Amino acid sequence: MENSSLLGEIPYGLRASFEAHTLLFKQPSGTSRGILTEKKLWLIRLSSATDEKIIGTGECSIIHGLSPDFTNVEHYENELRTIIENPVHFLQNPHLLSTKPSILFGLETAFIDWKNGGKGEFFDTAFSRGEQSIPINGLVWMGSEQFMHEQIEQKLEQGFSCIKMKVGAIDFETEIALLESIRKRYSANQITLRVDANGAFSLNEVDEKLQRLADLEIHSIEQPIAVGQHNALRDLCQRTPLPIALDEELIPIFESHKRAALLEYVKPQYIILKPSLHGGFSGCLEWIELAEKNGIPWWMTSALESNIGLNAIAQFTATFDPVIPQGLGTGGLYETNFETRLMIVNGALFRR
């Protein structure tokens, strides 16, 4: 799917507005960037001057400290005001928003939603019609040993066959023990285990830690070392005992030739894509094309979007007929959320 076919013809006379929302987490959620208690987002509303009844909605979703286009609310809303004054111009020239991935994602999805009648129908697939599911992983959040153990048990009871656990937050021996507790009960053929280090491992410890994880038949590790160490990362990807997936490493790279150069030089085993962080749908399409050219598999994950953004990402992901589990199980995180047709059953995402 090329970007031109993604959006199609963009008519003149589109009007846009935005509104801010804050969602509260059901329980504080531990990440590599601290404990999250709330989620800020902005919805872009798009309509035509000739028909104001059809309104397309897109979500601009940020993670403070990680989103490259967010420093503070005032600056972000000033950027949004500039864009909604002339949405057609930015839709026709998405490269102008290459350094603002969350805004580009919101604008793209608002337009696709508007074009399809403003009903949250982004792409016509078996998934969007409720005929097929998307396999997803169950995410275990950082926290105390007891809290993480409870989450693991919950995910197993809910029928997940792929579990992703954050590592690097508590004592590594404790994290290994948690993973061992799963592996003692379930083989790698029964339960797939993924881990995400969020760059937590230092260069002098990473080899030993990767080997210990590999001994537990871990499927892959996301971002084992801190971002920006391309020489060390390349060497690590060549000698690693378990597959390495790049995530944060992709965020600060906006130019096409630099994206291509990174994948060709580092040669990771996987890449992980988040439209709100990696250039919207158009940026993800470019990353996918480059990855497939280099024989690098990928999967899609959400970036803590509300149900609005998650619905768009899930439908986009479904256009690729994914077989391996995707990271799209974040819809139940919030006390309040927008209505959705998405539901999780036995470790798979469905659309009612």
Question: Residue 53 catalytic?
Answer: no
Residue 4 pLDDT: 53
- Integer angstrom CA distances of residue 336 from 21, 333, 343: 11, 9, 16
Pairing of strands 138-140, 162-166: parallel
- 134-351: CATH homologous superfamily? Enolase-like C-terminal domain (3.20.20.120)
Question: Residue 267 catalytic?
Answer: no
Residue 330 pLDDT: 81
Residue 145 pLDDT: 85
In this prediction, residue 165 has a pLDDT band, given cuts at 50, 70 and 90, of: very high
pLDDT in tens, 306-318: 999 999 999 999 9
Q: What residue spans define the domains of the chain?
A: 3-115, 134-351
50 pLDDT higher than 80? yes
- Percent share of the chain, pLDDT over 90: 84
DSSP string, 293-340: HTT--EEEB--S--HHHHHHHHHHHHTT---SPBB---TT-BSS----
The whole-angstrom separation of Cα 43 and Cα 347 is 29
Residue 294 pLDDT: 97
Residue 300 near residue 313, CB atoms below 8 Å: yes
Order the strands of the 270-273 sheet from edge to edge: 138-140, 162-166, 192-196, 220-222, 244-246, 270-273, 298-300
Residue 135 near residue 162, CB atoms below 8 Å: yes
pLDDT in tens, 194-251: 999 989 999 999 999 999 999 999 999 999 999 999 999 999 999 999 999 999 999 9
Q: Which of 100, 166, 184, 267 is catalytic?
A: 166
164 pLDDT higher than 70? yes
CATH of 3-115, one of 3.30.390.10, 3.30.70.580, 3.20.20.80, 3.90.1170.30: 3.30.390.10
The residue-averaged pLDDT of 347-352 equals: 94
105 pLDDT higher than 90? yes
Residue 35 pLDDT: 78
The model's pTM: 0.95
